[in-house]
Amino acid sequence: MRVLLLSLCLAAPALAEDWRVLDGPGITATLAARVLQYQDGSTQNFFQDGRTLHGAGGGVSWGKWWVEGDRYCSSWPPSDVAACYRVEVQGLDVRFTSDGGEVSLGRYVDL
């Protein structure tokens, strides 16, 4: 019984870390025409034409998104400076990680 319990405990972290890193085409397929909700309750619509709409606290802002290499990039007016992220998926969850290690976690809400 102890061996079984120990085996289950050791296997659990491996299951929790089952994130799949996406390449450029995978990022496009994952985001285009989709809606994510983030942990803070905000939502983001990713339109196929490269527009993106972020909604939070009753307000909305429009930006643009694209894939550059194997990273998701976006910019939000009035700035044209891009922020780019590594993208990973696990089930319904999408994780964005900046070059500085900051993580945003979204979940599909359009399924």
Cα 58 to chain center, whole Å?
22
**14 pLDDT higher than 80:** no
| Mean pLDDT value across the chain | 88
Q: What pLDDT does 52 receive?
A: 98
Domain boundaries, the chain: 18-108
- What tens digit of pLDDT does each residue of 77-91 get? 999 999 999 999 999
Mean pLDDT, to the nearest integer, of 28-41?
97
Cα 103 to Cα 88: distance, rounded to the nearest angstrom: 11
Mean pLDDT, to the nearest integer, of 50-60?
95
Q: What pLDDT does 31 receive?
A: 98
Q: Among 3.30.160, 3.30.420, 2.40.128, 2.60.40, name the CATH number for the domain at 18-108.
A: 2.40.128
